[in-house]
Amino acid sequence: MLPKAEFVHWWFATGFLIIGLLLLAEALVGGEVWRRRAWRAYLWPSFLFLMGVLMWPVMVFYTNSTIHMVAHGSWAQVMMLAGGAELGLVRGKLKSSYWRLTMPLAFLVSGTALLIHEQNGWLYSRSAFVHHACGWTLIVGAIFPLGKTLAPRFAPFRAGHALTFLVIAFVLYAARDAAPIFGHFSAGGVPHR
Amino acid sequence: MESHFATEAVAQLRRRSLRAAAVNLIGPLTMLGGVAWAFLQPYRLTVLHPHGQGFWWLLSEPPLYVVLVGLGFALFLAPSLLEDLEEVEDAPEG
């Protein structure tokens, strides 16, 4: 009855694609134009927070080991924290811009969790490759939200932040539970699609 | 003096046009990406061969998701964003 794990990866890829495009548009027009309509300023933080919330059912229903539970749980928490902090800043409840450091923290925690919970090497399977690629993209990509917090007007940091989400979306769309390329693990038989 | 102002105005217009064009392109390019993906991997669209597919397989159509995200961006976000971009840049400085 439960959707396969690869479907969940694609749904989250869509969420990251939405956030990436919103951040890209914000980077292009600048914060002043972006915040001219209140609803727009709430958009991507709300999506990020919602994705954190939706990660909890993933933790509950897709826990096949303790390390999976810890990884999914930590993603849920850091996504909610980063999204919530940004919502607080937009709303004016939070004042210090250093709350934005929750985003690089989320990148680092998520990237580390991805790498730790993947027990196999890069080329073991498509799934292993996706987890390694996402993990290192997030760890290296943490430089962008960190830089954006310290130098908010520096365009390459804003663009890099958006592009990191888009790369994650792209890689997650490639996730398959069992795939014959990039490794030797395969469910066998004719692929479903 | 006048030509200096004219040069600055043209440069500003060009900058804005580039930014506006980039914002305008995000949605269509995303949709194009989804369509290209559908052509490259048609087997990932189970709606094209729905017989015998289960509910989750029919719900999960990644290339369509990409097209829908691009469409949503182009229809619901880009118009107001371009309007605001124009307003801010047309406003007199100071």
Nearest-CB residue to B81 (from A18, A29, A193): A29
Look at residues A56, A187, A74, A47 and name the one whose alpha carbon lies nearest to residue A135: A74
With 90 as the cut, is the pLDDT of residue A47 above it?
Answer: yes
- pLDDT per residue over B6-56, tens digit each? 677 666 666 668 899 999 999 999 999 999 999 999 989 999 989 888 999
Which one has a higher pLDDT value, B10 or A144?
A: A144
**Cβ of residue A173 closer than 8 Å to a chain B Cβ:** yes
Closest CA to A13 of B81, B36, B68, B41: B68
A193 domain residue, yes or no? no
Query: Residues A11-26: what's their mean pLDDT?
Result: 98
Question: What is the per-residue pLDDT for A100?
Answer: 97
- The verdict on residue A181 lying in a domain is no
> How many domains does chain A contain in total?
1
Mean pLDDT of A46-72: 92
User: Is A16 domain-assigned?
Assistant: yes
CB contact under 8 A, A17 and B56: no
Task: Establish if A166 touches chain B: CB-CB under 8 angstroms.
Answer: no
Whether A25 and B80 lie within 8 Å, measured CB to CB? no
pLDDT at residue A55, rounded to an integer:
95
Which of the four pLDDT bands, split at 50, 70 and 90, describes residue B2? Answer: low
Torsion-angle region of residue A37: left (phi > 0), alpha (psi -120 to 50) or beta? beta
Top pLDDT among B89 and A77 is at A77
Number of domains in chain B: 1
Closest CA to A91 of A53, A29, A45, A27: A45
Both structure tokens of B38: 């559908």
Q: What percent of chain A has pLDDT over 70?
A: 93
Q: Is residue B93 pLDDT above 70, yes or no?
A: no
User: Has residue A178 been placed in a domain?
Assistant: no
Say if residue A88's pLDDT is above 70.
yes
Note the pLDDT of residue A188.
45
Give the residue with greater pLDDT, B51 vs A85: A85
For the segment A31-51, the average pLDDT, to the nearest whole number, is: 96
Cβ-Cβ contacts under 8 Å for A77 (sequence gap 6 or more): A52
Can you tell me the ipTM of this complex?
A: 0.89
Gap from B89 CA to chain A (nearest CA, Å): 9
* Residue A113 C-alpha, separation from nearest chain B C-alpha, in angstroms: 25
Which is more confidently placed, A168 or A185?
Answer: A168
Residues of B in contact with A29 (CB under 8 A): 19, 23, 81, 84-85
Cβ atoms < 10 Å from Cβ of A58:
20
Q: Grade residue B3 by pLDDT with cuts at 50, 70 and 90.
A: low
pLDDT at residue A139 tops 90: yes
Closest CA to A35 of B73, A43, A153: A43
Chain B residues with beta carbon closer than 8 angstroms to that of A11: 60
Owning domain of residue B26: 2-90
Interface mutation vs chain B, best among A6, A7, A10, A17, most B CBs within 10 Å = A17
Please tell me the pTM assigned to this model. Answer: 0.90
Least confident of A86-100, B21-35, B80-94: B80-94
By the 8 A CB rule, do A172 and A130 touch? yes
- Please check whether residue A167 touches B, CB under 8 A: no
The domain in which residue A55 lies consists of 5-173
Rounded Cα distance between A118 and A134, Å, is 11
- Residue A183, pLDDT > 50, answer no
Q: What is the 3-state secondary structure (H, E, C) of chain A?
A: CCCCHHHHHHHHHHHHHHHHHHHHHHHHHCHHHHCCCHHHHHHHHHHHHHHHHHHHHHHHHCCCCHHHHHHHHHHHHHHHHHHHHHHHHHHCCCCCHHHHHHHHHHHHHHHHHHHHHCCCCCCCCHHHHHHHHHHHHHHHHCHHHHHHHHCCCCHHHHHHHHHHHHHHHHHHHCCCCCCCCCCCCCCCCCCCC
